Every structure is written in structure tokens, then in C-alpha cells.
A and B are shown apart, each in its own frame.
Chain A
Amino acid sequence: MDTLLLSRIQFAANISFHILFPTITIALGWVLLFFKLRYNRTGQRKWMDLYMFWVKVFALSFAMGVVSGITMSFQFGTNWPGFMETVGNVAGPLLAYEVLTAFFLEAVFLGIMLFGASRVPGWVHTLATVLVAFGTTMSAFWILVLNSWMHTPAGYELRDGVVYAIDWMAIIFNPSLPYRLTHMLLASGLTVAFLVAGISAYRWLRGDHAPAVATGLRFGVVLGAVLIPLQILAGDMHGLNTLEHQPQKVAAMEGNWETGPHVPLVLFALPDQAARENRFEIAIPSGASIILKHDPAGVVPGLNDFVAEDGTVLHPPVAPVFWGFRVMVGTGMLMLAMGAAGLWFLHRRGAENLPRPYLIGLVGMAFSGWVATLAGWYVTEIGRQPWLVHGVLTTAEAVGPVAAGMVLTTLIAYLMVYVALMVAYIGVIFHLARKGSFFTPPVQPALQPAE
């Protein structure tokens, strides 16, 4: 394997591992604030129990996110020097603002949020929780600005092959940002909703019927059920935005080779890029035209439009984008079904009497948000290939001159660490859940309700 491919796999491994944890912390910060405000309002102990349980998951996830994020800021230089040399004038300030307005805020106030409850007045602790949640969201905002700009660059000009910023408002609010940011924030909310529901269901099934567990179940299921329709809507709008700016990505998502009207919606196929056709295709006639153009005769772009005269392929690899999209949508549909069923059960039977098979289903879905989020990111990021910055810089141009063997060595080392930490992380979350279920520690609510 060559340096380019190995560097890509290494960055993909790092960023895939990294994004799992911000996906949890972005929404969990606000969820913790909600628990705390409910406690402040009602004085009911179950809200503090919920806060105490999930703040541990938050602290662990936050640490995983921080350390895996540091890795990426270094890899820009070690593996992708061409990225900063070409688009550094745009990417640099965006990253700098992320560090300045988000990283320090969340890092400093996290210390106060986690360990300061007995040292500061209640309102300061609540404020620290607000600032941590705000910091994680700001961090998501800035990094999605940069990522969106890489997909739909705007507000710049090229001089001697180097990008110069000319309009910062156009750069920050570039065409795909609103859709991508909304889609990601909702993804984070859904991930946390199903995590809270799944872990609460696990505790319930193990016989821990504390009020906090039932409330956690209800909270997770309702949050998931509310967010998933919004996410489907946001995803659809994001897709239409992509069709406008990156038609080749949508063509790969749909597995559509020829531009034309009445394009079918492919449910299953094995895209064969060498033969430029789909094998074993199962499709709904005119489905893609209806979804993308709201008209069965709507013309949908095909992949064959993105092959140069000399045969150079200018569209992304089809199979991973095609399948990533189906995994994401499939997981979303499962979430929709579980959310709807959950609302019905809650309405008819209450959180204390949910059917056992449904609870087992929720445990199975505890990390479903991760699956959908990763699959979605693979669709959008692989879908950008061969470009690193769409229309400006290709991935091959940005890679650094590091020996392939060296990249392979570090790649294997990172992978070993990531697999070990992944096992430990999931193990510890279930360990915390079991611990909560057998001996609920006599928690003295040291946090007094703020007046």
C-alpha cells in the first residue's frame, strides 16, 4: 500500500474514533443541564441521581474526545502538510477560533463542573455546566464550518495556487453549513437519546427499578421519538443541498450511473465500478427522481457524467458511499420505529411497564447513534473524493512525503490503542450501569437547589 492510502486510512481511523465521543458530549452536556435544572426546580432526588450517573459518562467521553482530538491537530502537519499550505489562510483562523472560543472554555469549566460542586455556590456550578455545554456546541460549530467549507468552498480567491480569504461571512456561512450543522447536532441528540434509553433499559432489565431509571427510560425514548422525524427532514434537506453542490456524491449515494429522468430508487445493489453498473439491483421505479426532484420525470445526475475524456474518474468510489448511505438511513428507520413504538408503550403502559422485548431492543440500540453517525460521515467524506477541498485541492496533492512503512507502523499502533480503549469504554459504561443497579450509594444531594 502506498503512503497516500495509508495516510487516508490513518486519518479515517483517527477521526472515526474521535467523532464518537463529541457525538455524545455535544448533546449530553445540554442533557445534564436539563437534569440539573429539573432538580433545581423540583427538588426530586431522581434528577440528581440521573445527573450523577450521566456526568460520569460525560467525563469519560470528554476525556476520550480531547485526547483523540489532539492527535488530529498534529496529523494535519505530519501527514497532510499540503492541506495547510494550500488552504491554511482559511482553515487556520477557523481552527484558531475553535481553540480560543471552545476548547479552553470547555476544558476549564469542566474541572469546575465535575469537581467544584462543593467549592462554589450552586448557581456558579449551574453556570459552569452551561458553559461546558456551550463550549462543546461552539466546538462543533467551528469544526463544521471548516468541514462544510471543504465541501462547498466560498468567499476565497486563488493566487498562485494558494487560497486567500476575501469574505469571512461567506466562508463561515458557506452554502452547506446550515444543513450539515443541523444534521450533526440532531445526530448528537439522537445518539444520546438512544444511549440514555438503552443503558436505562439495561439497568431496568437487571432489576434496578429506581425512579431515576424509569425517568431515564422515559427521557431517552421521548427525546429520540421527538428528534428522529426532525432528523429525517434535516437529512432530506441536506441531501438536496448536496445535489446542488456535489451532484457526483448524490449519484454515488443513489448508485445511479446514467443521467436521465425516471431514475429508480435503488434499495439493494452491488455497485460494480469497473463494469460501471449495479449487480443484483432491487429498485423502486422513478423513486430517486421523486425524492430528489419531487417529480417522476425529474432529471437526476448520473456517475458517468463525472468521467474525464481520458477515462480519469472524477467521482467518489461508489460502493462505500452507496452502502454508507443505506446503513445510515436503515438505522434511522429503526430509530423511527423504536421511537414511535416507545411513545405508544409509554402512553398505554407507562415507563415502569414497558414490554421486555422492547427493553431488550433498546439495549441493542444503545450505540445505534454511533452507527448512523459514522455511516453518515463516511457518505459525506468519501463522497467528497477525489477532492480534499472540493474543486480546489485533491487528497493526493495534500499528502506528506512520509515513508509508507512509517505510516503503517503508526497506523497499527493507533489501531491497537483505539481497539483497546473502545473495549474499555463500552465495558466501563456497562460496569457503571451494573454498579448503579446493585448498590445505589446513599447520595447526599450536596447540590442545594438554587434559589
Chain B
Amino acid sequence: MFAPDVLPVIFAALMGLSILLYVILDGFDLGVGLLFPFSEPEERDRMVASIGPFWDANETWLVLAIGILLVAFPAAHGAILTALYLPVAVMLIGLILRGVAFEFRAKAPLVHKGLWDAAFFTGSLMAAVSQGFMLGMYVMGLRWGWSEVAFALLTAGALTVAYSFIGATWVIFKTDGTLQRKAVRWAQGGIWGVVIGMGAVSAATPLVSARIFDKWFRFPEIVTLAPLPLMAGALVALLWIALKRLPAPGDHFAWFPFAGATALMVLGFSGMAYSFYPYIVPEKLTILEAAAATESLSIILVGVMVVLPVILCYTVLAYTIFRGKATALRYD
């Protein structure tokens, strides 16, 4: 039904889309959790309210991404996940903690609320740090050496700060008053993490692999690709200026930092995708070699083509229903 050499590419693109959506969407709600220690207890209800209706669906993109890896590239799934056994476990326990803390903090006896707030922060931190660590290990080719681990620790820190940055921009977008002003300061502090993180990954990736170095720095690619880093630099500058001036009268441009942070993530992700294509396990296994049987991929693709647009539609619907500034979460 579909050509056998096209299917793996389509699925790699779908997986990329899922990971990108996950990093942006769960990025902002993990980020909100990371900002808990900097906020007052009474501000936390509002921060949680800003992500309450969304976090569950946001996390589902991770399930879809890992699902596509699992079903479309079974050989890579095993290789990547057994290599990242410990960070995956840390991430999972983190996701468990924060996912349930969310519910418990509102329903448990009031005296335990602080405890669940701490669990929410700890879980968010574990998830963010382990994801950043896995990113670094992946860039380093999934090898467990001292220098690889050191680099992965750097990306772990950077991604954590980046998540807190996009979380802060979300709070700017969804709240007002004192909390919004506070979030502007958080974002000003966090933007450096984004710059360092993107810089480190961009610098390290071509150095680790001659193939990737060549892909970026040979002529004419070096010219056609130049807009990518230039746009990222311009965005950072614009964000910096915007954060100096926010909050603006009439709440103008409150959406801009979040949009800018999203655009930065898209740029960074595109760069990485370009670097690693066509490999799925860096320098070891290409997407064609790792792909599952054509007939199985075909039957999934049929479902994806029908269902994914519907999912995107009702996701947009949910964000539309809960548009505007966050208000207290109520079941009635």
C-alpha cells in the first residue's frame, strides 16, 4: 500500500513531531513545577490552575513518541532504552510523582499540601534532569564514558533551566499582577539556560561526528543552513528586549515570550533532526535498518492519517476552551 522505503521516513517524521510537541507542551508544565520553590504557597494554586486542564494530554505526546519508537523502530527501541536504563527509570519515577502530586495536593488534608508541593517540584526536577541527561547521552552516541557523562550532565542542567524558562513564559501568558511580574524575572534568569544549552549541543554535535560536521560546514549547505542559527540568535535578542519591557500596559505582548520560546525549541529541534538524519541510533542504526515490517507500518499509518488530525483538532479545542488568564480550578 505504501512504498517500503518511504514509510520509515514518514514514521521518523511523526516521531519527531511527537517529541517536539512533547518538549514544548510538557516542557511548559514541567517548567511550572520547577518554579515552585521560587513562588509563594498562595501563588502555586494559580500556577497549577494554568496547567491543570492540559498536563495529562501533554504527557500523552511522550507516550505517542515512545510508542512510535516502539512500534516503528523496534530494534532501535531496545538499543536506546537499554542504554538509557537508569535515566529512564529516574524520569518515570519523576513523572509518577508529579502527575499524582498534582491531584493529591488539592485533595489530601491541608496539612499535607506542602509535602505534595515538594513532591510536585521533585518529580518535575527528576523528569527534566533525566530528559536533559538522555539528550546529552544521545548526542554523544549512547556511550557511557566520563566525558560523555560530563557532557550529559551539562545538557541535563541546561534543559532543566530551559524548561523552567518556557514554564515562566507560560505563567507570563496565563496570569497577571504580581505573579506575572515575578514570572518575567524568572524568564530573564532562565533564558541563559536556553542559550547555554542550545550552544553546547550545537557545538558538541559536529565535534562528536565528522559526518555531522561535514553536513553542516560543507558548501553550499553552510549558506543555506546559516538562517537557522541566525534566526535563533535574533529570537534570543528579541526575547531579551521583550522581557525587559514586560508586563506591558493592557497586557500587550504577554503571549510573545511563550511564542518566542516555542520558536526557539522548534529551531533547536530542527537542527538536531538535520544532524542525526538518517540515523536513529546515532552512527549505528539508520531509520531504514531499524524499521518494522511494511504491512504493520501501513496499518498504523492509515490510523494515524485518520486520527491524528482529529487529535490535533480537539487539542486546539481544549486550549480554546481554557483560553485567557488562569482562574481557580473548580469541578463545577
A binding-site residues for B, Cβ under 8 Å: 52, 55-56, 59-60, 62-64, 66-71, 73-74, 76-78, 81-82, 84-85, 88-93, 95-97, 99-101, 103-105, 107-112, 114-120, 162, 164-165, 168, 400-402, 406, 409-410, 413-414, 417, 421, 424, 427-428, 431-432, 443-447
A77-B70 contact given A84-B77, A96-B303, A108-B57, CB 8 Å threshold: yes
A70 adjacent to B63 (CB under 8 Å): yes
Contact of A56 among B79, B97, B331 (CB under 8 A): B331
Cα-based distance from A237 to B92 in the complex (angstroms): 38
State whether B99 touches A108 (Cβ < 8 A).
no
B-side contacts of A67, CB under 8 Å: 95-96, 99-100
CB of A246 to closest CB in B, whole Å: 26
* B208 lies within 8 A of chain A by Cβ: no
A406/B85 in contact, CB under 8 A: yes
Q: Is B43 an interface residue (CB 8 A)?
A: no
Assess whether B53 is in contact with A400, with CB atoms less than 8 Å apart. Answer: no
A71 to B88, CA, bound (A): 9
Residues of A within 8 A of B69 (CB): 77
**Which A residues are in CB contact (< 8 Å) with B96?**
67-68, 70-71, 417, 421
Q: List 9 A-B contacts (CB under 8 A).
A: A60-B104, A70-B59, A77-B81, A90-B296, A96-B71, A96-B304, A115-B329, A400-B78, A421-B100
Min distance, Cβ A443 to any Cβ of chain B, angstroms: 7
Say yes or no: A424 contacts B74, CB within 8 Å. Answer: no
A92 touches B300 (CB 8 A): yes
Query: Which of B75, B318, B331 has most chain A Cβ within 10 Å?
Result: B331
Would you call B78 and A63 a contact (CB within 8 A)? no
What would 16 more interface pairs be, CB under 8 Å, given A90-B296, A107-B56, A115-B330?
Answer: A52-B332, A78-B88, A81-B81, A89-B292, A89-B296, A93-B296, A96-B304, A100-B308, A103-B63, A105-B314, A109-B314, A115-B331, A117-B332, A119-B321, A406-B85, A431-B107
Roughly how many angstroms separate A413 CA and B126 CA in the complex, as a whole number?
13
Alpha-carbon distance A118/B330, docked complex (angstroms)? 9
In the assembly, what is the distance between CA of A52 and CA of B66, in Å? 35
| Contact call B93/A93, Cβ cutoff below 8 A | no
**Cβ contact within 8 Å between B78 and A93:** no
Set of chain B residues within 8 Å of A446, measured between Cβ atoms: 332
Are A115 and B52 neighbours in the complex by a CB distance under 8 Å? Answer: yes
Q: How long is the Cα–Cα vector from A89 to B108 in the complex, in angstroms?
A: 44
**B303 to chain A: which residues have CB within 8 Å?**
93, 96-97, 100-101
If A63-B100, A114-B331, A410-B89 touch, whether A95 touches B71 (CB-CB below 8 Å) is yes
Q: What 0/1 readout, one digit per residue, does chain B (58-94) give for beta carbons within 8 Å of chain A?
A: 0110111011111110110111111011101100110
Q: Is the CB of B331 within 8 A of A100?
A: no
Partner of B74 from A85, A444, A445 at Cβ < 8 Å:
A85
Cβ-defined contact, B89 with A52, below 8 A: no
Q: How many angstroms from the CA of A99 to the CA of B308 in the assembled complex?
A: 11
Residue among A62, A104, A119 with the most chain B CB within 10 A?
A104
Known: A56-B331, A99-B64, A428-B108. Contact between A89 and B80, CB under 8 A?
A: no
Q: Is the CB–CB distance between B293 and A164 below 8 Å?
A: yes
Contact of A101 among B102, B103, B307, B331 (CB under 8 A): B307
Known A70-B59, A74-B88: A89·B67 in contact at CB below 8 Å: no
Residues on B with C-beta less than 8 A from A99 are: 60, 63-64, 67
B13 within 8 A of A: no
- Most chain B Cβ neighbours within 10 Å, of A97, A108, A111: A108
Q: Which residues of B contact A413 (CB under 8 A)?
A: 89, 93
Counting CB contacts under 8 A, is B299 at the interface?
Answer: yes
Q: A95-B67, A164-B295, A446-B332 are in contact. Are A74 and B300 (CB under 8 A)?
A: no
Does B39 lie at the interface of the complex (its beta carbon under 8 Å from any beta carbon of A)? Answer: no
B108 and A81 contacting across the interface, CB-CB below 8 Å: no
- Shortest CB-to-CB span from B128 to chain A, Å, is 15
Give the nearest-CB partner of A76 in chain B: B70
* Cα distance, A95 to B69, chains bound together (Å): 12
Which of A78, A109, A162 is the one whose CB lies under 8 Å from B85?
A78
Asked if B237 is at the interface (CB within 8 A of a chain A CB), the reply is no
Cross-chain contact B57 with A414 (CB below 8 angstroms): no
Q: CA A97 – CA B89 in complex, angstroms? A: 25
Are A417's CB and B321's CB within 8 A? no
Query: Which residues of chain A are near B293, meaning CB under 8 Å?
Result: 89, 162, 164-165
**Of A115, A168, A417, A421, which one neighbours B299 at CB under 8 angstroms?**
A168
Q: Which residues of B contact A445 (CB under 8 A)?
A: 332
* Pairwise interchain contact B331-A55, C-beta atoms closer than 8 A: yes
Measured between C-beta atoms, what is the minimum distance from B330 to chain A in Å? Answer: 7
Do residues B295 and A165 form an inter-chain contact, with CB atoms below 8 A?
A: yes
Instruction: Collect the chain B residues with CB atoms within 8 Å of residue A406's CB.
Output: 85-86
Cβ of B311 within 8 Å of any chain A Cβ, yes or no, is: yes
Q: Are A93 and B57 in contact (CB-based, < 8 A)?
A: no
Q: A115-B329, A165-B295, A445-B332 are in contact. Are A66 and B107 (CB under 8 A)?
A: no
Q: Which residue of A lies closest to B295 (CB)?
A: A165
Given A63-B102, A107-B57, A74 and B92 touching (CB < 8 A)? yes
Q: Are A443 and B332 in contact (CB under 8 A)?
A: yes
CB A320 to nearest CB in B, in angstroms, measures 26
- Nearest Cβ in chain A — how far from B75, in angstroms? 7
Q: Knowing A97-B303, A100-B303, A107-B60 touch, does A92 contact B331 (C-beta < 8 A)?
A: no
